[in-house]
Structure 1
Amino acid sequence: MLPSIALPNSISPSRRGETAPMAPARVLRVLRLLADQPDGLTLAQLVAQIGVPKTSLYSLLHGLTAEGFVQRHESLYRPGPESFVLGAALVAARSLAIVATPFLLDARAQSGETVLLAVIDRSAGRLTYTQILESHKPVRYMVPVGTTRPLFATAAGRVLLAFQDEPWRREYLSSASLRALTDKTVTNRRQLERIIAGIQATGHASTIGEVTPDVAGFAAPIFEPNSQVNAAIVVGAPLERGKAAAERLTRVAIDCAEQLSQALGYRAQQTQFHTPTNGKA
Protein backbone atom coordinates (compact mmCIF):
# COMPACT_ATOMS: atom_id res chain seq x y z
CA MET A 1 0.00 0.00 0.00
CA LEU A 2 1.38 3.40 -0.98
CA PRO A 3 2.00 6.06 1.68
CA SER A 4 -0.40 8.95 1.89
CA ILE A 5 1.15 11.91 0.11
CA ALA A 6 0.05 15.53 0.20
CA LEU A 7 0.21 16.79 -3.37
CA PRO A 8 1.40 20.34 -3.96
CA ASN A 9 -2.03 21.73 -4.78
CA SER A 10 -3.27 20.62 -1.36
CA ILE A 11 -2.12 23.79 0.39
CA SER A 12 -3.14 24.00 4.01
CA PRO A 13 -5.84 26.64 4.77
CA SER A 14 -3.41 28.77 6.76
CA ARG A 15 -1.17 29.16 3.73
CA ARG A 16 -3.68 29.10 0.88
CA GLY A 17 -3.95 32.84 0.71
CA GLU A 18 -0.21 33.21 0.25
CA THR A 19 -0.08 31.36 -3.09
CA ALA A 20 -1.52 31.80 -6.51
CA PRO A 21 -3.54 28.89 -7.95
CA MET A 22 -1.11 26.23 -9.14
CA ALA A 23 -2.05 24.67 -12.47
CA PRO A 24 -1.13 20.96 -12.30
CA ALA A 25 0.69 21.03 -15.64
CA ARG A 26 2.83 23.96 -14.49
CA VAL A 27 3.64 22.27 -11.19
CA LEU A 28 4.72 19.11 -13.00
CA ARG A 29 6.79 21.14 -15.45
CA VAL A 30 8.64 22.84 -12.59
CA LEU A 31 9.29 19.56 -10.79
CA ARG A 32 10.57 17.88 -13.97
CA LEU A 33 12.91 20.78 -14.77
CA LEU A 34 14.32 20.70 -11.26
CA ALA A 35 14.69 16.92 -11.38
CA ASP A 36 16.72 17.26 -14.59
CA GLN A 37 18.98 19.89 -12.98
CA PRO A 38 19.90 18.57 -9.50
CA ASP A 39 22.36 21.44 -8.97
CA GLY A 40 19.42 23.82 -9.04
CA LEU A 41 17.89 26.54 -11.20
CA THR A 42 17.30 30.20 -10.48
CA LEU A 43 13.91 31.86 -10.73
CA ALA A 44 15.08 33.63 -13.90
CA GLN A 45 16.16 30.33 -15.47
CA LEU A 46 12.82 28.71 -14.66
CA VAL A 47 10.91 31.70 -16.05
CA ALA A 48 12.91 31.48 -19.28
CA GLN A 49 12.21 27.78 -19.71
CA ILE A 50 8.54 27.76 -18.70
CA GLY A 51 7.56 31.12 -20.18
CA VAL A 52 5.27 32.43 -17.43
CA PRO A 53 5.23 35.74 -15.54
CA LYS A 54 7.88 35.96 -12.85
CA THR A 55 5.38 36.85 -10.12
CA SER A 56 3.17 33.85 -10.93
CA LEU A 57 6.09 31.45 -10.94
CA TYR A 58 7.45 32.89 -7.70
CA SER A 59 4.08 32.28 -6.02
CA LEU A 60 4.01 28.73 -7.33
CA LEU A 61 7.54 28.06 -6.06
CA HIS A 62 6.59 29.57 -2.70
CA GLY A 63 3.74 27.07 -2.35
CA LEU A 64 5.89 24.13 -3.45
CA THR A 65 8.60 25.14 -0.99
CA ALA A 66 6.08 25.44 1.85
CA GLU A 67 4.89 21.90 1.13
CA GLY A 68 8.44 20.50 0.88
CA PHE A 69 8.37 19.63 -2.82
CA VAL A 70 10.99 22.30 -3.57
CA GLN A 71 13.80 23.65 -1.44
CA ARG A 72 15.60 26.97 -1.90
CA HIS A 73 19.21 27.73 -1.14
CA GLU A 74 20.17 31.34 -1.78
CA SER A 75 19.02 31.94 -5.39
CA LEU A 76 18.77 28.30 -6.43
CA TYR A 77 15.70 26.05 -6.35
CA ARG A 78 16.14 22.29 -6.06
CA PRO A 79 13.87 19.26 -5.55
CA GLY A 80 12.71 19.06 -1.94
CA PRO A 81 12.33 16.00 0.30
CA GLU A 82 8.64 15.53 -0.52
CA SER A 83 9.52 15.20 -4.22
CA PHE A 84 11.78 12.28 -3.37
CA VAL A 85 9.07 10.69 -1.20
CA LEU A 86 6.63 11.00 -4.08
CA GLY A 87 9.16 9.63 -6.57
CA ALA A 88 9.94 6.63 -4.34
CA ALA A 89 6.23 5.88 -3.97
CA LEU A 90 5.71 6.00 -7.72
CA VAL A 91 8.70 3.73 -8.36
CA ALA A 92 7.43 1.26 -5.75
CA ALA A 93 4.04 1.21 -7.46
CA ARG A 94 5.40 1.01 -10.97
CA SER A 95 4.76 -2.24 -12.82
CA LEU A 96 5.73 -2.58 -16.45
CA ALA A 97 2.44 -4.29 -17.23
CA ILE A 98 0.41 -1.52 -15.57
CA VAL A 99 2.38 1.28 -17.19
CA ALA A 100 2.40 -0.44 -20.58
CA THR A 101 -1.33 -1.13 -20.91
CA PRO A 102 -2.51 2.26 -22.24
CA PHE A 103 0.37 2.38 -24.71
CA LEU A 104 -0.39 -1.14 -25.94
CA LEU A 105 -4.05 -0.21 -26.36
CA ASP A 106 -3.09 2.84 -28.38
CA ALA A 107 -0.68 0.81 -30.52
CA ARG A 108 -3.40 -1.73 -31.26
CA ALA A 109 -5.80 1.06 -32.22
CA GLN A 110 -3.17 2.67 -34.47
CA SER A 111 -2.05 -0.55 -36.14
CA GLY A 112 -5.22 -2.62 -36.16
CA GLU A 113 -2.99 -5.60 -35.37
CA THR A 114 -1.99 -7.68 -32.35
CA VAL A 115 0.44 -5.95 -29.99
CA LEU A 116 2.68 -7.84 -27.58
CA LEU A 117 5.05 -7.05 -24.72
CA ALA A 118 8.14 -9.30 -24.80
CA VAL A 119 10.52 -9.67 -21.83
CA ILE A 120 14.00 -11.17 -22.00
CA ASP A 121 15.04 -14.25 -20.02
CA ARG A 122 18.82 -14.07 -20.15
CA SER A 123 19.42 -17.36 -18.34
CA ALA A 124 17.38 -19.26 -20.92
CA GLY A 125 18.39 -17.13 -23.91
CA ARG A 126 14.73 -16.66 -24.75
CA LEU A 127 11.94 -14.11 -24.50
CA THR A 128 8.48 -14.43 -22.99
CA TYR A 129 5.32 -12.70 -24.18
CA THR A 130 3.95 -11.33 -20.92
CA GLN A 131 1.14 -9.16 -22.25
CA ILE A 132 -0.89 -9.53 -25.45
CA LEU A 133 -3.64 -7.39 -26.91
CA GLU A 134 -5.11 -9.21 -29.88
CA SER A 135 -6.31 -7.50 -33.01
CA HIS A 136 -10.08 -7.22 -33.42
CA LYS A 137 -9.84 -8.41 -37.04
CA PRO A 138 -11.27 -11.86 -37.86
CA VAL A 139 -7.91 -13.01 -39.25
CA ARG A 140 -5.20 -12.02 -36.78
CA TYR A 141 -1.99 -13.12 -35.09
CA MET A 142 -2.78 -15.13 -31.96
CA VAL A 143 -0.43 -16.57 -29.34
CA PRO A 144 -0.99 -17.34 -25.62
CA VAL A 145 0.46 -15.19 -22.86
CA GLY A 146 3.55 -16.93 -21.50
CA THR A 147 4.71 -18.20 -24.89
CA THR A 148 8.50 -18.21 -25.22
CA ARG A 149 10.62 -17.73 -28.30
CA PRO A 150 14.37 -17.94 -29.07
CA LEU A 151 16.03 -14.54 -29.19
CA PHE A 152 17.90 -15.02 -32.47
CA ALA A 153 14.85 -15.75 -34.63
CA THR A 154 12.25 -13.17 -33.58
CA ALA A 155 11.93 -9.44 -34.20
CA ALA A 156 11.61 -8.77 -30.46
CA GLY A 157 14.44 -11.16 -29.64
CA ARG A 158 16.81 -9.46 -32.06
CA VAL A 159 15.90 -6.06 -30.64
CA LEU A 160 16.60 -7.37 -27.14
CA LEU A 161 19.90 -8.87 -28.30
CA ALA A 162 20.95 -5.64 -30.00
CA PHE A 163 20.73 -3.65 -26.77
CA GLN A 164 22.34 -6.05 -24.33
CA ASP A 165 25.90 -5.69 -23.03
CA GLU A 166 28.33 -6.68 -25.76
CA PRO A 167 30.07 -9.52 -23.84
CA TRP A 168 26.70 -11.17 -23.08
CA ARG A 169 25.52 -10.76 -26.67
CA ARG A 170 28.78 -12.14 -28.06
CA GLU A 171 28.56 -15.17 -25.78
CA TYR A 172 24.96 -15.78 -26.77
CA LEU A 173 25.67 -15.58 -30.50
CA SER A 174 28.64 -17.92 -30.22
CA SER A 175 26.93 -20.58 -28.10
CA ALA A 176 23.18 -20.50 -28.86
CA SER A 177 21.66 -23.36 -30.81
CA LEU A 178 20.45 -21.70 -34.02
CA ARG A 179 17.76 -24.14 -35.06
CA ALA A 180 15.61 -23.03 -37.97
CA LEU A 181 11.92 -22.54 -37.18
CA THR A 182 10.88 -22.06 -40.80
CA ASP A 183 12.68 -22.21 -44.13
CA LYS A 184 13.26 -18.43 -43.82
CA THR A 185 14.87 -18.41 -40.36
CA VAL A 186 18.35 -16.89 -40.38
CA THR A 187 20.77 -19.32 -38.72
CA ASN A 188 24.10 -18.06 -40.06
CA ARG A 189 25.96 -16.43 -37.17
CA ARG A 190 27.75 -13.82 -39.27
CA GLN A 191 24.50 -12.84 -40.95
CA LEU A 192 22.83 -12.48 -37.55
CA GLU A 193 25.66 -10.25 -36.38
CA ARG A 194 25.08 -8.00 -39.39
CA ILE A 195 21.33 -7.92 -38.72
CA ILE A 196 21.89 -6.98 -35.08
CA ALA A 197 24.34 -4.24 -36.04
CA GLY A 198 21.64 -2.82 -38.30
CA ILE A 199 19.13 -2.91 -35.45
CA GLN A 200 21.55 -1.00 -33.22
CA ALA A 201 21.64 1.74 -35.86
CA THR A 202 17.93 1.87 -36.65
CA GLY A 203 16.35 0.96 -33.31
CA HIS A 204 13.86 -1.53 -34.75
CA ALA A 205 13.63 -5.04 -36.20
CA SER A 206 11.32 -7.06 -38.38
CA THR A 207 10.87 -10.70 -39.29
CA ILE A 208 8.85 -11.93 -42.25
CA GLY A 209 7.87 -15.57 -41.85
CA GLU A 210 11.00 -16.49 -39.88
CA VAL A 211 9.27 -17.77 -36.74
CA THR A 212 5.86 -18.77 -38.08
CA PRO A 213 5.47 -19.08 -41.84
CA ASP A 214 2.40 -16.87 -42.10
CA VAL A 215 3.33 -14.12 -39.59
CA ALA A 216 5.26 -10.84 -39.81
CA GLY A 217 6.62 -9.14 -36.69
CA PHE A 218 7.81 -5.57 -36.07
CA ALA A 219 9.60 -4.68 -32.82
CA ALA A 220 11.32 -1.83 -30.95
CA PRO A 221 13.15 -1.68 -27.60
CA ILE A 222 11.83 -0.31 -24.30
CA PHE A 223 14.53 1.61 -22.46
CA GLU A 224 14.61 1.88 -18.67
CA PRO A 225 15.94 5.01 -16.89
CA ASN A 226 19.45 3.50 -16.74
CA SER A 227 19.28 2.80 -20.52
CA GLN A 228 19.01 -0.95 -19.94
CA VAL A 229 16.68 -2.90 -22.23
CA ASN A 230 14.73 -5.79 -20.69
CA ALA A 231 11.59 -5.64 -22.83
CA ALA A 232 10.35 -4.83 -26.31
CA ILE A 233 7.13 -3.93 -28.09
CA VAL A 234 6.02 -6.17 -30.95
CA VAL A 235 3.32 -5.65 -33.55
CA GLY A 236 2.36 -8.99 -35.09
CA ALA A 237 0.27 -9.41 -38.25
CA PRO A 238 -0.67 -12.04 -40.82
CA LEU A 239 2.15 -12.25 -43.36
CA GLU A 240 0.70 -10.53 -46.42
CA ARG A 241 -1.01 -7.80 -44.39
CA GLY A 242 2.20 -7.20 -42.47
CA LYS A 243 4.33 -7.01 -45.61
CA ALA A 244 1.93 -4.51 -47.19
CA ALA A 245 1.97 -2.24 -44.11
CA ALA A 246 5.56 -2.84 -42.96
CA GLU A 247 6.58 0.81 -42.71
CA ARG A 248 3.45 1.85 -40.84
CA LEU A 249 3.57 -1.07 -38.40
CA THR A 250 7.24 -0.44 -37.72
CA ARG A 251 6.42 3.21 -36.97
CA VAL A 252 3.69 2.13 -34.54
CA ALA A 253 6.10 -0.19 -32.71
CA ILE A 254 8.76 2.54 -32.50
CA ASP A 255 6.33 5.19 -31.26
CA CYS A 256 4.82 2.87 -28.66
CA ALA A 257 8.25 1.81 -27.37
CA GLU A 258 9.51 5.40 -27.22
CA GLN A 259 6.45 6.64 -25.34
CA LEU A 260 6.58 3.74 -22.90
CA SER A 261 10.30 4.29 -22.34
CA GLN A 262 9.60 7.93 -21.46
CA ALA A 263 6.78 6.90 -19.12
CA LEU A 264 9.24 4.64 -17.30
CA GLY A 265 11.61 7.57 -16.83
CA TYR A 266 14.03 7.15 -19.73
CA ARG A 267 15.36 10.39 -21.16
CA ALA A 268 17.27 10.08 -24.44
CA GLN A 269 19.98 12.68 -24.94
CA GLN A 270 19.33 12.87 -28.65
CA THR A 271 17.58 11.04 -31.46
CA GLN A 272 19.46 7.77 -31.65
CA PHE A 273 17.99 5.90 -34.57
CA HIS A 274 17.06 6.10 -38.22
CA THR A 275 13.44 5.25 -38.94
CA PRO A 276 12.12 3.49 -42.07
CA THR A 277 11.21 5.72 -44.99
CA ASN A 278 11.25 3.37 -47.94
CA GLY A 279 8.44 0.98 -47.12
CA LYS A 280 10.77 -1.56 -45.52
CA ALA A 281 10.84 -2.36 -41.82
Structure 2
Amino acid sequence: MESQKHKVKSADRVLDIFELFEGDKDSFSLTEIARLLKTPPSSTYLLLQNMLERGYLQTDKTGKQFQLGHKLFTIRNKRLKGSNLSEEFQQVADRLFHEVNETVNLSIRLGDKLLYIGEKSSTHFLRFTPNTGDMRPLHATASGKVLLSGMTSEQLREIYPNDVLEKVTDKTISTYSGLLAELEKVNREGFGYNMGETVEGVQCVAAAVLDAEGKAAAAISISIPVVRVTGEVWEKVRVSIKQASEELSRKVYR
Protein backbone atom coordinates (compact mmCIF):
# COMPACT_ATOMS: atom_id res chain seq x y z
CA MET A 1 0.00 0.00 0.00
CA GLU A 2 1.41 3.36 -1.03
CA SER A 3 2.31 5.51 1.95
CA GLN A 4 0.27 8.66 2.30
CA LYS A 5 2.06 11.99 2.08
CA HIS A 6 1.19 14.36 4.88
CA LYS A 7 1.26 18.04 4.01
CA VAL A 8 0.66 21.21 5.98
CA LYS A 9 -0.77 23.71 3.53
CA SER A 10 0.49 26.82 5.32
CA ALA A 11 4.01 25.37 5.56
CA ASP A 12 3.91 24.58 1.84
CA ARG A 13 2.91 28.16 1.09
CA VAL A 14 5.77 29.56 3.18
CA LEU A 15 8.23 27.39 1.25
CA ASP A 16 6.60 28.42 -2.03
CA ILE A 17 7.17 32.07 -1.12
CA PHE A 18 10.84 31.43 -0.38
CA GLU A 19 11.23 29.60 -3.69
CA LEU A 20 9.98 32.66 -5.59
CA PHE A 21 13.34 34.25 -4.77
CA GLU A 22 15.31 31.55 -6.60
CA GLY A 23 15.02 33.59 -9.79
CA ASP A 24 16.42 37.01 -10.66
CA LYS A 25 13.73 39.07 -8.93
CA ASP A 26 14.59 40.39 -5.48
CA SER A 27 11.14 41.60 -4.50
CA PHE A 28 7.46 40.88 -5.10
CA SER A 29 4.22 42.68 -4.33
CA LEU A 30 1.30 41.04 -2.53
CA THR A 31 -0.59 40.90 -5.81
CA GLU A 32 2.32 39.20 -7.59
CA ILE A 33 2.80 36.62 -4.84
CA ALA A 34 -0.91 35.76 -4.71
CA ARG A 35 -1.04 35.45 -8.50
CA LEU A 36 2.10 33.31 -8.79
CA LEU A 37 1.06 30.98 -5.98
CA LYS A 38 -2.60 31.01 -7.01
CA THR A 39 -3.69 31.83 -3.47
CA PRO A 40 -6.34 34.28 -2.18
CA PRO A 41 -4.84 37.74 -1.52
CA SER A 42 -6.46 37.87 1.93
CA SER A 43 -4.82 34.68 3.23
CA THR A 44 -1.55 35.52 1.42
CA TYR A 45 -1.51 38.90 3.18
CA LEU A 46 -1.86 37.26 6.61
CA LEU A 47 0.93 34.81 5.83
CA LEU A 48 3.24 37.60 4.64
CA GLN A 49 2.54 39.64 7.77
CA ASN A 50 3.47 36.65 9.93
CA MET A 51 6.73 36.21 8.02
CA LEU A 52 7.43 39.95 8.32
CA GLU A 53 6.95 39.90 12.09
CA ARG A 54 9.36 36.98 12.44
CA GLY A 55 12.00 38.67 10.25
CA TYR A 56 11.90 36.16 7.41
CA LEU A 57 10.68 38.86 5.04
CA GLN A 58 11.14 42.61 4.90
CA THR A 59 9.60 45.38 2.80
CA ASP A 60 11.15 48.18 0.79
CA LYS A 61 10.63 51.85 1.63
CA THR A 62 7.16 51.86 0.08
CA GLY A 63 6.05 48.95 2.25
CA LYS A 64 4.56 47.28 -0.82
CA GLN A 65 7.44 45.15 -2.11
CA PHE A 66 8.46 42.07 -0.11
CA GLN A 67 12.09 40.93 0.08
CA LEU A 68 13.97 38.22 1.95
CA GLY A 69 14.50 39.29 5.56
CA HIS A 70 17.44 39.40 7.93
CA LYS A 71 16.41 36.28 9.85
CA LEU A 72 17.33 33.95 6.99
CA PHE A 73 20.74 35.53 6.73
CA THR A 74 21.23 35.41 10.49
CA ILE A 75 20.62 31.67 10.36
CA ARG A 76 22.84 31.38 7.30
CA ASN A 77 25.58 33.31 9.04
CA LYS A 78 25.49 30.94 12.03
CA ARG A 79 25.80 28.03 9.64
CA LEU A 80 28.64 29.79 7.81
CA LYS A 81 30.64 29.84 11.03
CA GLY A 82 31.17 26.15 10.52
CA SER A 83 31.49 26.33 6.76
CA ASN A 84 34.45 26.41 4.45
CA LEU A 85 33.82 30.06 3.50
CA SER A 86 33.93 31.23 7.11
CA GLU A 87 37.00 29.14 7.93
CA GLU A 88 38.88 30.29 4.85
CA PHE A 89 37.88 33.92 5.44
CA GLN A 90 39.26 33.84 8.97
CA GLN A 91 42.57 32.48 7.73
CA VAL A 92 42.77 35.09 4.98
CA ALA A 93 41.69 37.89 7.34
CA ASP A 94 44.34 36.88 9.88
CA ARG A 95 47.00 37.13 7.21
CA LEU A 96 45.72 40.51 5.99
CA PHE A 97 45.67 41.72 9.58
CA HIS A 98 49.36 40.92 9.94
CA GLU A 99 50.14 42.54 6.59
CA VAL A 100 48.28 45.84 7.04
CA ASN A 101 46.62 45.85 10.51
CA GLU A 102 43.41 47.36 9.13
CA THR A 103 39.81 46.16 9.45
CA VAL A 104 38.85 43.33 7.09
CA ASN A 105 35.22 42.43 6.31
CA LEU A 106 33.33 39.75 4.41
CA SER A 107 29.95 40.79 3.01
CA ILE A 108 27.02 39.58 0.93
CA ARG A 109 24.01 41.28 -0.64
CA LEU A 110 20.60 41.33 1.05
CA GLY A 111 18.14 43.07 -1.27
CA ASP A 112 19.35 46.66 -1.63
CA LYS A 113 21.62 46.38 1.42
CA LEU A 114 25.09 45.08 2.14
CA LEU A 115 25.14 42.56 5.01
CA TYR A 116 28.41 42.07 6.91
CA ILE A 117 28.93 38.38 7.72
CA GLY A 118 32.56 38.31 8.86
CA GLU A 119 35.11 40.68 10.37
CA LYS A 120 38.66 41.03 11.64
CA SER A 121 39.26 44.33 13.42
CA SER A 122 42.32 46.52 13.36
CA THR A 123 44.08 47.06 16.68
CA HIS A 124 44.53 50.77 15.97
CA PHE A 125 42.66 53.05 18.37
CA LEU A 126 41.20 54.92 15.38
CA ARG A 127 39.39 52.40 13.19
CA PHE A 128 36.11 51.69 11.41
CA THR A 129 34.67 48.29 12.26
CA PRO A 130 31.21 47.29 11.00
CA ASN A 131 29.89 44.47 13.17
CA THR A 132 28.74 41.15 11.79
CA GLY A 133 25.03 41.55 11.03
CA ASP A 134 25.24 45.28 10.28
CA MET A 135 23.73 46.49 7.01
CA ARG A 136 24.56 49.46 4.76
CA PRO A 137 23.18 50.73 1.42
CA LEU A 138 24.90 48.87 -1.40
CA HIS A 139 25.74 51.95 -3.46
CA ALA A 140 27.47 53.62 -0.50
CA THR A 141 29.97 50.81 0.11
CA ALA A 142 32.97 49.40 -1.73
CA SER A 143 31.75 45.82 -1.34
CA GLY A 144 28.24 46.79 -2.41
CA LYS A 145 29.55 48.28 -5.64
CA VAL A 146 31.44 45.06 -6.31
CA LEU A 147 28.28 43.00 -5.82
CA LEU A 148 26.24 45.37 -8.01
CA SER A 149 28.80 45.48 -10.81
CA GLY A 150 27.87 42.08 -12.24
CA MET A 151 24.15 42.81 -12.49
CA THR A 152 22.13 43.49 -15.62
CA SER A 153 20.45 46.87 -16.15
CA GLU A 154 17.09 45.23 -15.38
CA GLN A 155 18.35 43.88 -12.05
CA LEU A 156 19.85 47.25 -11.15
CA ARG A 157 16.63 49.08 -11.98
CA GLU A 158 14.70 46.72 -9.75
CA ILE A 159 16.92 47.73 -6.83
CA TYR A 160 17.05 51.41 -7.85
CA PRO A 161 13.75 52.32 -9.56
CA ASN A 162 14.40 56.04 -9.00
CA ASP A 163 17.16 58.25 -10.38
CA VAL A 164 17.87 59.76 -6.95
CA LEU A 165 19.78 57.54 -4.48
CA GLU A 166 19.96 57.73 -0.70
CA LYS A 167 22.82 59.87 0.62
CA VAL A 168 24.65 58.57 3.68
CA THR A 169 27.35 61.28 3.65
CA ASP A 170 27.99 64.27 1.40
CA LYS A 171 30.29 62.04 -0.68
CA THR A 172 27.78 59.25 -1.32
CA ILE A 173 26.81 58.68 -4.96
CA SER A 174 23.33 60.18 -5.16
CA THR A 175 22.22 59.57 -8.76
CA TYR A 176 21.54 56.43 -10.76
CA SER A 177 23.69 57.70 -13.65
CA GLY A 178 26.54 58.31 -11.20
CA LEU A 179 26.20 54.76 -9.90
CA LEU A 180 26.34 53.32 -13.42
CA ALA A 181 29.55 55.23 -14.10
CA GLU A 182 31.02 53.93 -10.85
CA LEU A 183 30.08 50.34 -11.69
CA GLU A 184 31.79 50.65 -15.07
CA LYS A 185 34.93 51.63 -13.17
CA VAL A 186 34.56 48.58 -10.90
CA ASN A 187 34.23 46.27 -13.91
CA ARG A 188 37.22 47.90 -15.57
CA GLU A 189 39.57 47.85 -12.56
CA GLY A 190 38.28 44.84 -10.60
CA PHE A 191 37.98 46.84 -7.37
CA GLY A 192 35.20 48.69 -5.57
CA TYR A 193 36.04 51.88 -3.71
CA ASN A 194 34.40 53.81 -0.89
CA MET A 195 35.91 57.26 -0.42
CA GLY A 196 34.10 58.47 2.67
CA GLU A 197 30.68 57.55 1.27
CA THR A 198 29.57 55.53 4.32
CA VAL A 199 31.53 57.25 7.08
CA GLU A 200 33.34 60.55 6.69
CA GLY A 201 37.10 60.08 6.95
CA VAL A 202 37.13 56.36 6.13
CA GLN A 203 38.19 54.85 2.81
CA CYS A 204 37.69 51.26 1.70
CA VAL A 205 38.70 48.96 -1.15
CA ALA A 206 36.91 45.69 -1.98
CA ALA A 207 37.09 42.80 -4.43
CA ALA A 208 34.71 39.99 -5.34
CA VAL A 209 34.72 36.42 -4.09
CA LEU A 210 33.61 34.58 -7.22
CA ASP A 211 31.56 31.38 -7.28
CA ALA A 212 32.07 28.47 -9.68
CA GLU A 213 30.15 30.36 -12.40
CA GLY A 214 32.32 33.44 -12.05
CA LYS A 215 29.63 35.50 -10.31
CA ALA A 216 30.20 37.57 -7.18
CA ALA A 217 28.99 35.44 -4.26
CA ALA A 218 30.52 37.72 -1.63
CA ALA A 219 33.01 40.56 -1.28
CA ILE A 220 36.04 41.05 0.93
CA SER A 221 37.16 44.54 1.90
CA ILE A 222 39.69 46.54 3.90
CA SER A 223 38.70 49.83 5.59
CA ILE A 224 41.24 52.50 6.54
CA PRO A 225 40.84 55.90 8.25
CA VAL A 226 41.99 58.52 5.74
CA VAL A 227 44.65 59.83 8.14
CA ARG A 228 46.61 56.58 7.57
CA VAL A 229 46.13 56.45 3.80
CA THR A 230 49.20 57.10 1.65
CA GLY A 231 49.93 56.11 -1.93
CA GLU A 232 52.12 53.26 -0.69
CA VAL A 233 49.52 52.01 1.81
CA TRP A 234 46.71 52.19 -0.77
CA GLU A 235 48.67 50.21 -3.34
CA LYS A 236 49.65 47.59 -0.74
CA VAL A 237 45.99 47.21 0.28
CA ARG A 238 44.89 46.83 -3.35
CA VAL A 239 47.44 44.06 -3.93
CA SER A 240 46.50 42.32 -0.67
CA ILE A 241 42.74 42.44 -1.26
CA LYS A 242 43.11 41.14 -4.82
CA GLN A 243 45.18 38.20 -3.64
CA ALA A 244 42.74 37.51 -0.80
CA SER A 245 39.67 37.56 -3.07
CA GLU A 246 41.32 35.22 -5.57
CA GLU A 247 42.39 32.86 -2.80
CA LEU A 248 38.89 32.73 -1.29
CA SER A 249 37.31 32.20 -4.70
CA ARG A 250 39.69 29.34 -5.48
CA LYS A 251 39.49 27.57 -2.12
CA VAL A 252 35.76 27.89 -1.49
CA TYR A 253 34.08 27.74 -4.89
CA ARG A 254 36.44 26.18 -7.42
Residues 87-236 of structure 1 correspond to what in structure 2 (within 5 A)? 94-121=83-110, 124-175=111-162, 178-236=165-223
In the alignment, the residues of structure 2 paired with residue 178 and residue 135 of structure 1 have an alpha-carbon distance, to the nearest angstrom, of: 31
- AA paired with 2:108? V
Residue 222 of structure 1 deviates from its aligned partner by 0.4
Of 239, 245, 252, which residue of structure 1 is paired with 2:240? 252
Task: Name the Cα RMSD after superposition.
Answer: 1.9
Misfit runs of 4+, over 4 Å: none
1:248 is aligned with what amino acid? K
Aligned amino acid, residue 96 of structure 2: A
Partner of 1:117, secondary structure, is strand
Query: One-letter code of the match for 1:229?
Result: A
Q: CA deviation at 1:189?
A: 1.3
Identity among equivalent pairs (%)? 25
Q: 3-state SS of the aligned residue for 2:253?
A: coil
TM (norm. structure 2) is 0.63
Give, in whole Å, the separation in 2 of the partners of 1:185 and 1:163: 20
Cα distance in 2 for partners of 1:256, 1:134 equals 16
Deviations 1:108-165 (A, max 9, x none): 22221010001111xx311111111001222222222111011111101000100234
CA shift at 1:177, angstroms? 6.3
Stretch of structure 1 that moved more, 176-185 or 250-259: 176-185
Given that 1:216 and 1:243 are in contact with CA atoms closer than 8 Å, whether structure 2 keeps it comes out as: no
1:261 and 2:218 matched: no
8 A contact 2:102–2:224 mirrored in 1: yes
CA displacement at 1:243 relative to structure 2: 5.2
Corresponding pairs, count: 172
Equivalent position amino acid for 1:184 in 2: K
Higher-Rg structure is 1
TM-score (normalised: structure 1): 0.57
Secondary structure, aligned partner of 1:180: coil
Does the 8 Å CA contact 1:225/1:264 hold for their aligned counterparts?
no
Tell whether the 8 Å contact from 2:163 to 2:176 is kept in structure 1 after alignment.
Answer: no
Using the alignment, how far apart are the partners of 1:163 and 1:109 within structure 2? 31
Which secondary structure state, in structure 2, belongs to the residue aligned with residue 186 of structure 1? coil
Is the CA contact (8 Å cut-off) linking 1:242 and 1:249 kept in structure 2? no
Code of the residue aligned with 2:236 in structure 1: it is: R
2:160, 2:228 → 1: CA distance? 31
